[in-house]
């Protein structure tokens, strides 16, 4: 990496970066500095402005004001290609990879110039082995697991010999053990002189890996720290401005009868690149919360759509309150008392362009909101208003389009709507992804309260901390198979982490 | 029976040619994630442009080139609506088809009844004189061969060049392509222009060689059939050729069956290409899984860079 | 360097809802001026003939409303589907088949005075259109086949079917071998509302359809399901709205309205079945739907506008010797500019200075 003699001892410097989106100040005069070989964390809860800041550095978005300095000289970064030319590499949280082509083709796409796949494949193998990120260059990408895909994403970055590498929430798709391996790679990179910007909200990781940290809250820098010298609690306080609200769990006593019952549920995926479900068995009783852990891409999407009714399965595999619903559609299951909060909010859980009132009608229509085929508008408005009030949804009223709400508020509305339906069984996927800490705590409390009032609650989540906080029993989904659930008190994070990677007696038996 | 087979085969190749041009162009467009319903209109504009220039005395090559340019220009209008203004792609394409039909009819309203000199057949010596194979494969007019050459070129482009790979991945995941630095909109403009040029060439073939005269709406729905062909081909050039020949065959069959004193009405035979299109579409679409795994994922969706 | 950027508005601009169609009309008019000039025609005079002349006489107004009626009816049916993202481009074919079905009854029973004949013909027309629409509905619901391409193909098939029938089995034996049926008897025709004018009672059917459309789309739960299907198919599936129901409803309704419109034209101004039964109403109705922004009042006004375009086109043809395709070219321009102008409703255009 031969760069011209640096004009300053910092690789990257941001001065008073400001970015405004219609109505909100995403970044408010943010400044930070990263030196060569430094691992610098950018901490903040969801909505604090981390992603926007990274997009500005990477050229995907332009700042409204402020200055970027690269090796001390002012730099203009109008698009990602320019960022790459400077030597900035980005590993996205949601990978920008293409399923239909091979690993080496994916990497070739990100590199300028001519196309020599054979030579590139050799380079990729060599680099992968050097950094402990082994991949097979000619495998089609869709065959790779999420962890392997991240390796490809990182290798793609490394091949461009970056001087600054940005990683956005990289461990959200990894098992705890895989995260450790990633940290080793990053440390090696830092030793080689590369600067690293590490975005995360996982404070323990940051304390383990990072040299310095800049803390963002509501778009502004509220402090910087050396993570190893402070406690997680202090960092959390900086991040949120106050101590995190505690979640209150009543003791758990479950109904003897199972309300939701999966019996050796097996199903081929609809999506050509999806995961097949194999012999998934589980029982969820009223009064308890059962959690399903697992790295994304192991069948969660398929499982959740089979539960909700968006996809059907064979009979005798799925029972709802004793009724065989596997082959029955969504409407039948909802009538039996099933409610569902999907992972995608805009576009699936809510229609972005429609008002909150209309969105309340989306799944609320069973509650006497439709009379003789016609919509009872005042009742719908009242239902929506109730949800907004009870769940503290910040919006300009029931007529506000769903897309004008922040992620956290929209999730509060959607979850509020489903809970207001007084379901007997509630299935929730990724309940607090992208949601700010205060709203997340509120939502988790709602789930606990719902279960304690007698409903059976099933939570599918990639956040282990969350599952350990609210669930009574936890199971792990790996490659479409489910481990037998254990009581939370009997679980340890390391064991669950191993299960998430497929290690353990539950997944040893060949299916 | 050779005296019937040879004209049928020759006719098949000839009838397939306009479909090949238009469908090849649209294949590339759809691979990049855009659906252009304006092919029919662009075809007609190309046809009238080529015819007009020929009537004015220009050589056929100039006329064909003009048709390609006209098609590309019309496609740019579509591109502006669909890519820059991000309107509904179906509506934008339809608008171009309606405009193309009306505008070409308007420009050509004085040409009705006039004819031009046909393109003339290539003569490749001994090869062309072979019985059966000769006239079918080696004595067609130049645009037939050009179409086949273009099919090979498109296939090579898509599967063997980096640019073709870029086009394919843009159709699959435009946001990812943008993230790694590709100007999705600019590349789509390029594919759309290519598609329009090909549609123009298709029209030129119709008015210069297939029936060297001008009739309003002379494409008779071939633009739409070309769109169906792209689906049938699973977005692959080799299968597209197969499909084009199949359709070409179906549309010439009628001319020969009628000669055998068929009891069935001539309209039924004229309807065969359209009915065949429907049947073929059903066959290829039935399996939702295969359809989804072949079609460009982002097809016809408006692309918003900020989202 | 200057750059155009589109910035999403937080709320759709109300003024542009009405302003966009007006702006589009203006731009289309400007863009078509060269076409008139190329014919050596005075564009302003041509525009006068196009838009103003037709409305000067009671007969003109009668023709205007008479032509608008089928356009609005078809467009309402199409709009039901467009809202749900079901793209029926085959209204032409459904219209034709509806006319055929109605004509069969008319020719068989029209000679005698039956009071049930006209209502029966209306039913037949609607059923003919629905039958023709059932094909794409079935194919889409069960075989994922694109309704756009199937309906388009069926347009051509329907036209060929009509050609066959009026040249063969249904041809008027006393008609000097012209491709047309015999004229319908009096009981198979709509009676004109006023002496000397052609406008008849079928316009009330269209008005009723406008009200029914409003009720379906704005107030009914079925209409809500279709709206959601069109805006966010994944959300529709999540909510349990059946996709096949949306597909069938869209196509059946648009088939019925198109077929009914075909019957109205055959039993009204034409009085018989012939190949010119549709001067492209099926496609014009698509434009009407867009100009009217898929809402009842808008579609009504849009139908009136396009009807005027048709009349004006005919008038310009007659008095200035302009070709018929001029109208179609104008329609195409109108749709293009409308799509462009619509952008201003959802986005604000900003001129940025890029360093």
Taking the C-alpha atoms of residue C330 and residue A306, their distance in angstroms, rounded to an integer, is 51
Contact C27/A at CB under 8 A: no
Query: Is the model's pLDDT at A511 over the cut of 50?
Result: no
| Chain A residue numbers touching C10 (CB-CB < 8 A) | 22-23, 404
Taking the C-alpha atoms of residue A360 and residue B65, their distance in angstroms, rounded to an integer, is 57
Q: Say if residues A117 and A104 touch (Cβ distance below 8 Å).
A: yes
Q: Say if residues B290 and B49 touch (Cβ distance below 8 Å).
A: no
Q: Contact B169/A99, CB-based, under 8 Å? A: no
Q: Say if residues A74 and A66 touch (Cβ distance below 8 Å).
A: no
Q: Contact B162/A110, CB-based, under 8 Å? A: no
Taking the C-alpha atoms of residue A431 and residue A339, their distance in angstroms, rounded to an integer, is 14
φ and ψ of B27, to 5 deg: -60, -45
Taking the C-alpha atoms of residue C24 and residue B11, their distance in angstroms, rounded to an integer, is 45
Taking residues C13-24, report their average pLDDT.
Answer: 76
| Chain C residue numbers touching B294 (CB-CB < 8 A) | none
Q: Contact C235/A309, CB-based, under 8 Å? A: no
Taking the C-alpha atoms of residue A382 and residue B46, their distance in angstroms, rounded to an integer, is 59
Contact B100/C at CB under 8 A: yes
Q: Let me know how long chain A is.
A: 511
Q: Contact A308/C238, CB-based, under 8 Å? A: yes
> B173: nearest CA in chain A?
A98
User: Cα A317 to chain center, whole Å?
Assistant: 29
Per-residue confidence (pLDDT) for residue A1, from 0 to 100: 47
Q: What is the ipTM of this complex?
A: 0.87
Among B residues 263-282, those touching chain C with beta carbons less than 8 Å apart: 265, 267-268, 270-271, 274-275, 277-278, 281-282
Contact B165/A at CB under 8 A: yes
Confidence of residue A472 (pLDDT cuts 50, 70, 90): very high
> Which ranges constitute the DSSP H helices of chain C?
14-38, 43-47, 58-83, 91-109, 117-143, 147-167, 202-214, 221-231, 233-239, 243-265, 281-291, 296-320, 325-346
Taking the C-alpha atoms of residue C3 and residue A57, their distance in angstroms, rounded to an integer, is 21
Per-residue confidence (pLDDT) for residue B117, from 0 to 100: 77
Degrees, nearest 5: CA angle A474-A475-A479? 150
Degrees, nearest 5: CA angle B262-B266-B270? 125
Pick from B218, B211, B206, B215: which is nearest to B111 by CA?
B215
Q: Residues A435-448: pLDDT tens digits?
A: 887 888 899 999 99
Q: Which residues contact B187 (CB under 8 A, 6 or more apart)?
A: B32, B166, B167, B170
> B86: nearest CA in chain C?
C343
Contact C87/B at CB under 8 A: yes
Per-residue confidence (pLDDT) for residue A495, from 0 to 100: 87
Contact C117/B at CB under 8 A: no
φ and ψ of C6, to 5 deg: -100, 125
Contact C331/B at CB under 8 A: yes
Contact C355/A at CB under 8 A: yes
User: Cα A61 to chain center, whole Å?
Assistant: 22
Q: Which residues contact A46 (CB under 8 A, 6 or more apart)?
A: A201, A407, A408, A434, A435, A436, A437
Among C residues 163-202, those touching chain B with beta carbons less than 8 Å apart: 163-164, 168
Helix (H, G, I), strand (E, B) or coil at B189: helix
Predicted model pTM: 0.87
Q: Residues C262-321: pLDDT tens digits?
A: 999 988 888 888 888 878 899 999 999 988 889 899 999 999 998 988 888 888 888 777
H helix or E strand, kind and range, residue A468: helix A464-470
Q: Which residues contact C38 (CB under 8 A, 6 or more apart)?
A: none
Q: How far does B259 lie from chain A, in Å, by closest CA?
A: 49
Contact B175/A at CB under 8 A: yes
Q: Contact C231/A365, CB-based, under 8 Å? A: no
Query: Is the model's pLDDT at A309 over the cut of 70?
Result: yes
Instruction: Report, in this order, helix, strand and coil percent for chain B, each rounded to 5.
Output: 75, 0, 25
Q: Contact A80/B162, CB-based, under 8 Å? A: no
Q: Contact C150/B109, CB-based, under 8 Å? A: no
Per-residue confidence (pLDDT) for residue C129, from 0 to 100: 97
Q: Contact A375/C220, CB-based, under 8 Å? A: yes
N-term to C-term CA, chain B: 63
Taking residues C21-28, report their average pLDDT.
Answer: 86
Q: Say if residues C246 and C103 touch (Cβ distance below 8 Å).
A: no
Confidence of residue A243 (pLDDT cuts 50, 70, 90): low
**Residue pLDDT tens, chain B, 307 long:** 556 777 888 889 999 999 999 999 999 999 999 999 999 999 999 999 999 999 888 888 999 999 999 999 999 999 999 999 888 899 999 999 999 999 999 998 888 777 777 777 776 666 666 676 777 777 778 889 899 999 999 999 999 899 999 999 999 999 889 888 888 999 999 999 999 999 999 999 999 888 888 888 888 889 999 999 999 898 999 999 999 999 888 888 877 776 666 677 888 888 888 999 999 899 888 877 777 777 888 888 878 765 4
Q: Residues C63-121: pLDDT tens digits?
A: 899 889 999 999 999 999 999 999 999 999 999 999 999 999 988 887 888 888 889 99
Among the partner residues B161, B165, B179, nearest to A96 by beta-carbon distance: B179
| Chain A residue numbers touching B166 (CB-CB < 8 A) | 109
Per-residue confidence (pLDDT) for residue C12, from 0 to 100: 63
Confidence of residue A431 (pLDDT cuts 50, 70, 90): very high
H helix or E strand, kind and range, residue A41: strand A39-43
Pick from A15, A221, B270, A310: which is nearest to C238 by CA?
A310
| Chain B residue numbers touching C342 (CB-CB < 8 A) | 87
């Amino acid at each position: 990496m031969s760069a011209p003699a640096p004009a300053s001892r910092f690789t990257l410097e941001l001065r008073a970066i400001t970015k405004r989106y219609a109505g909100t100040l995403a970044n408010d005069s943010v400044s930070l500095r990263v030196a060569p070989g430094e691992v610098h964390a950018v901490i903040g809860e969801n909505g604090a402005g981390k992603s926007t800041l990274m997009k500005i550095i990477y050229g995907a978005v332009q700042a409204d004001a402020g200055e970027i300095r690269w090796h001390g000289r002012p730099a203009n970064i109008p698009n990602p290609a320019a960022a790459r030319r400077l030597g900035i590499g980005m590993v996205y949280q949601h990978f920008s990879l293409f399923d239909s082509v091979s690993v080496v083709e994916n990497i070739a796409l990100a590199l300028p110039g001519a196309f020599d796949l054979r030579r590139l494949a050799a380079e990729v193998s060599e680099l992968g082995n050097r950094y402990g990120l082994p991949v097979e260059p000619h495998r089609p990408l869709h065959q790779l697991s999420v962890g392997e895909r991240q390796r490809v994403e990182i290798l793609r970055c490394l091949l461009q010999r970056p001087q600054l590498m940005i990683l956005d929430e990289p461990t959200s798709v990894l098992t705890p053990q895989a995260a450790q391996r990633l940290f080793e790679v990053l440390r090696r990179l830092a030793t080689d002189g590369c600067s690293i910007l590490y975005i995360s909200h996982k404070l323990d990781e940051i304390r383990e890996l990072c040299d310095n940290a800049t803390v963002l809250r509501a778009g502004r820098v509220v402090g910087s720290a050396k993570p190893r010298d402070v406690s997680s609690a202090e960092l959390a306080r900086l991040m949120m401005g106050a101590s995190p609200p505690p979640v209150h769990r009543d003791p758990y006593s479950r109904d003897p009868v199972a309300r939701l019952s999966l019996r050796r549920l097996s199903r081929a995926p609809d999506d050509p690149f999806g995961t097949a479900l194999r012999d998934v068995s589980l029982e969820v009783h009223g009064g308890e919360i059962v959690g399903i852990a697992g790295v994304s891409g192991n069948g969660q999407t398929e499982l959740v759509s089979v539960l909700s009714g968006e996809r059907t399965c064979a009979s005798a595999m799925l029972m709802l309150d004793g009724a065989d619903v596997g082959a029955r559609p969504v409407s039948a299951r909802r009538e039996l008392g099933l409610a569902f909060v999907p992972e995608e909010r805009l576009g699936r859980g809510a229609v972005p362009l429609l008002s909150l009132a209309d969105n309340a009608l989306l799944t609320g229509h069973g509650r006497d909101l439709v009379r003789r085929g016609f919509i009872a508008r005042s009742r719908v408005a009242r239902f929506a208003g109730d949800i907004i009030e009870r769940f503290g949804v910040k919006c300009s009223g029931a007529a506000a389009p769903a897309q004008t709400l922040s992620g956290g508020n929209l999730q509060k509305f959607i979850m509020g709507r489903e809970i207001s339906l007084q379901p007997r069984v509630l299935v929730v996927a990724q309940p607090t992804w992208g949601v700010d800490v205060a709203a997340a705590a509120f939502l988790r409390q709602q789930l606990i309260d719902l279960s304690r009032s007698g409903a059976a609650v099933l939570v599918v989540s990639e956040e282990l901390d969350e599952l350990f906080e609210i669930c009574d029993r936890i199971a792990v989904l790996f490659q479409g198979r489910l481990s037998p659930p254990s009581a939370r008190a009997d679980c340890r994070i390391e064991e669950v982490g191993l299960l998430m990677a497929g290690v353990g007696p539950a997944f040893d038996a060949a299916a | 029976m050779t005296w019937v087979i040879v004209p049928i085969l020759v006719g098949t190749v000839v009838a397939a040619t306009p479909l090949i041009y238009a469908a090849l162009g649209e294949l590339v467009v759809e691979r990049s994630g855009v659906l252009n319903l304006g092919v029919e209109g662009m075809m007609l504009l190309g046809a009238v442009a080529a015819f007009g220039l020929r009537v004015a005395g220009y050589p056929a090559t100039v006329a064909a080139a003009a048709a390609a340019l006209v098609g590309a220009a019309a496609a740019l209008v579509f591109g502006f609506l669909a890519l820059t203004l991000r309107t509904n792609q179906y509506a934008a394409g339809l608008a171009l088809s309606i405009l193309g039909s009306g505008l070409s009819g308007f420009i050509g309203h004085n040409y009705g009844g006039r004819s031009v000199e046909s393109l003339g057949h290539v003569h490749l010596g001994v090869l062309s004189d072979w019985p059966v194979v000769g006239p079918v494969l080696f004595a067609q007019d130049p645009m037939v061969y050009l179409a086949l050459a273009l099919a090979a070129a498109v296939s090579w482009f898509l599967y063997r060049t980096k640019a073709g790979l870029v086009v394919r991945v843009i159709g699959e995941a435009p946001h990812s392509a943008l993230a790694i630095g590709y100007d999705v909109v600019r590349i789509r403009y390029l594919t759309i222009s290519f598609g329009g040029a090909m549609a123009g060439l298709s029209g030129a073939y119709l008015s210069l060689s297939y029936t060297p005269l001008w009739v309003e709406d002379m494409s008779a729905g071939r633009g739409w059939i070309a769109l169906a062909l792209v689906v049938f081909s699973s977005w692959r050039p080799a299968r597209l050729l197969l499909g084009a020949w199949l359709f070409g065959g179906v549309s010439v069959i009628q001319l020969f069956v009628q000669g055998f004193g068929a009891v069935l009405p001539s309209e039924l035979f004229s309807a065969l290409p359209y009915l065949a299109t429907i049947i073929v579409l059903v066959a290829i679409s039935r399996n939702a899984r295969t359809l989804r795994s072949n079609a460009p994922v982002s097809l016809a969706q408006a692309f918003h860079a900020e989202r | 360097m200057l750059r155009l950027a589109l910035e999403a508005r937080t709320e759709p601009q109300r003024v542009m809802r009405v302003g966009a169609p007006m702006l589009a009309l203006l731009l289309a008019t400007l863009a078509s001026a060269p076409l008139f000039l190329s014919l050596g025609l005075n564009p302003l005079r041509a525009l006068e003939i196009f838009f103003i002349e037709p409305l000067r006489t009671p007969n003109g107004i009668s023709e205007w409303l008479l032509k608008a009626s089928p356009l609005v009816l078809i467009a309402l049916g199409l709009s039901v589907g467009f809202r749900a993202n079901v793209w029926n481009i085959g209204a032409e074919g459904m219209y034709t088949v509806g006319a055929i079905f109605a004509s069969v009854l008319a020719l068989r029973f029209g000679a005698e005075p039956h009071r049930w004949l006209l209502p029966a013909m209306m039913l037949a027309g609607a059923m003919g259109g629905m039958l023709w629409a059932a094909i794409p509905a079935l194919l889409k619901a069960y075989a994922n086949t694109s309704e756009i391409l199937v309906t388009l193909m069926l347009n051509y098939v329907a036209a060929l079917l009509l050609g066959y029938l009026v040249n063969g089995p249904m041809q008027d034996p006393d008609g000097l071998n012209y491709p047309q049926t015999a004229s319908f008897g009096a009981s198979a025709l709509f009676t004109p509302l006023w002496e000397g004018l052609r406008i008849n009672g079928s316009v009330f059917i269209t008005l009723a359809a406008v009200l029914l459309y409003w009720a379906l789309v704005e107030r009914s739960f079925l209409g809500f399901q279709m709206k959601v299907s069109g805006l966010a198919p994944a959300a529709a599936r999540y909510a349990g709205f059946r996709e096949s129901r949306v597909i069938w409803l869209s196509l059946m309704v648009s088939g019925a309205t198109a077929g009914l419109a075909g019957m109205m034209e055959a039993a009204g101004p034409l009085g018989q079945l012939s190949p010119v039964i549709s001067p492209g109403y099926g496609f014009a109705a698509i434009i009407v739907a867009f100009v009217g922004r898929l809402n009842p009042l808008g579609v009504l006004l849009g139908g009136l506008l396009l009807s005027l375009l048709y009349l004006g086109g005919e008038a310009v043809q007659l008095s200035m010797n302009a070709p018929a395709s001029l109208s179609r070219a104008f329609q195409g321009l109108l749709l293009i500019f409308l799509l462009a102008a619509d952008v201003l409703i959802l986005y604000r255009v900003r001129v940025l200075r890029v360093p």
